[in-house]
Amino acid sequence: MNQWLLSGGVGFIGYHVAEALLARGDAVTIVDDFSDAPYPARYKRRNAEHLKAAFPHVSIVEGTVTDREHMNALVQGKSGVIHLAGLAGVRPSFTSPARYAEVNVQGTASLFEATMAVGIRNFVFASSSSVYGNSTPLPATEDAACTEPESPYAATKRAAELITKPLCAVRPDARCVALRFFTVYGARQRPEMAITLFMRAVLEGRPLTVFGDGGMRRDFTHVDDITRGVVASADAAHAGWSAYNLGSGAPVTLGELIAGIEQVAGKKAIIERAGKPAGDVDATYASIDKARRELDWEPRVKLIEGLVTVRDWVTAND
């Protein structure tokens, strides 16, 4: 039986991954610090309650991935580690760079060390499309140099990749997968993220703020597709270090996104404009050939279908 340690399992993506693993009968221990960053802890408590109600045997432990001794204890007896805990979000990383570095770099190194120390050879972790910055030719491929991150957040995700890669190389039987998620949306999305904020604003007739001229392009990817990608990469058997893009491969502009939200909400958006914030890249666009080829993964959820899941979630939940 698969026995997973899943860090960040009461967060947005973590909730969906936990649900998918538990639904197929795997054993899952979640570790999460239930912190208030980058959004209030009550959303994580709600996710934990929903998981407990659906799967009473799930184990949910409060702890931080930077606590090496605690991680040593939690990895015991596990067959693999899926590490999604982290401080997400480009903009807040400009005000708390040290905290981002501690959690995303030291936390990943710490959990990786603890995992390898007990002989577990399967480590999958959340990286980000932000590692590509503005200088990578699009569509971005995994072998790009990724040398110019535009934010402290992007730098921490790239650093976690650069630390785990050589560590994996000296353990020939180990496998470590860095998953570069491209702007993920769906039910339970982090409340400070654009699609959920925009959907609530349009449904409630409030103005929404668009940064820049609306021409910024994002490869929005539904959380159900991301979840299948995380599970497929955790199940894959080949040894070594790999990065995979998990993106829709079909970027849209913010203007096109808002038109989709208006269609699904059945209301017009009231748009206010503001300058482009520091750290935001101009466009993200994933090449997904490698994930298709090696993980047999394909994004399935079209933007309008995905926006319906967001509308239904925000209509029923605060």
Q: Does 66 bind ligand NAD (CB under 6 A)?
A: yes
Place of tokens 């059945």: 266
Compute the distance between CA of residue 196 and CA of residue 200 in angstroms, rounded to an integer.
Answer: 6
Q: Does 86 bind ligand NAD (CB under 6 A)?
A: yes
Residues β-bridged to residue 82: 6, 124
Specify the stretch interacting with ligand NAD by CB under 6 A; choose among 60-68, 70-78, 194-202, 303-311.
Answer: 60-68
Shortest reach from residue 105's CB to ligand NAD, in Å: 11
Where are the extended beta strands (E) located within the chain? 3-7, 27-32, 59-62, 80-83, 122-128, 175-181, 184-185, 207-211, 217-218, 221-222, 240-246, 252-253, 270-274
Among 85, 114, 231, 243, binds ligand NAD (CB under 6 A): 85
Among 2, 3, 27, 35, binds ligand NAD (CB under 6 A): 35
CB nearer to ligand NAD: pick between 115 and 128: 128
Among 13, 51, 199, 232, binds ligand NAD (CB under 6 A): 13
Q: Render 171-217 in DSSP notation, one character per residue.
A: -TT-EEEEEEE-SEESTT--TTSHHHHHHHHHHHT-EEEEETTS--E
Nearest to 96 by CA among 281, 284, 282, 279: 279
Q: Does 64 bind ligand NAD (CB under 6 A)?
A: yes
Q: Does 120 bind ligand NAD (CB under 6 A)?
A: no
Compute the distance between CA of residue 10 and CA of residue 12 in angstroms, rounded to an integer.
Answer: 7
Under DSSP, the state recorded for 91 is G
Compute the distance between CA of residue 224 and CA of residue 246 in angstroms, rounded to an integer.
Answer: 11
Nearest to 277 by CA among 210, 180, 218, 222: 210
Specify the stretch interacting with ligand NAD by CB under 6 A; choose among 53-61, 62-70, 199-207, 288-296.
Answer: 62-70
Q: What is the CA radius of gyration of the chain?
A: 19
Among 19, 33, 142, 224, binds ligand NAD (CB under 6 A): 33
What is the size of the binding site for ligand NAD (CB under 6 A)? 29
Among 5, 6, 90, 184, binds ligand NAD (CB under 6 A): 184
CB nearer to ligand NAD: pick between 158 and 190: 190
Q: Does 6 bind ligand NAD (CB under 6 A)?
A: no
Neighbours of 193 (CB within 10 A): 17
Catalytic residue among 39, 100, 153, 185: 153
Question: Is 39 considered catalytic here?
Answer: no
The number of angstroms, rounded, from the C-alpha of 176 to the middle of its chain's C-alpha atoms is: 16
Nearest to 247 by CA among 156, 184, 189: 184
Among 110, 136, 183, 196, binds ligand NAD (CB under 6 A): 183
Q: Does 164 bind ligand NAD (CB under 6 A)?
A: no
Shortest reach from residue 65's CB to ligand NAD, in Å: 4
Q: Does 12 bind ligand NAD (CB under 6 A)?
A: yes
Q: Does 227 bind ligand NAD (CB under 6 A)?
A: no
Q: Which residues are catalytic?
A: 153
Residues of this chain that interact with ligand NAD (CB under 6 A) are 7-8, 10-14, 31-35, 44, 64-66, 84-88, 103, 107, 126, 128, 181, 183-184, 190
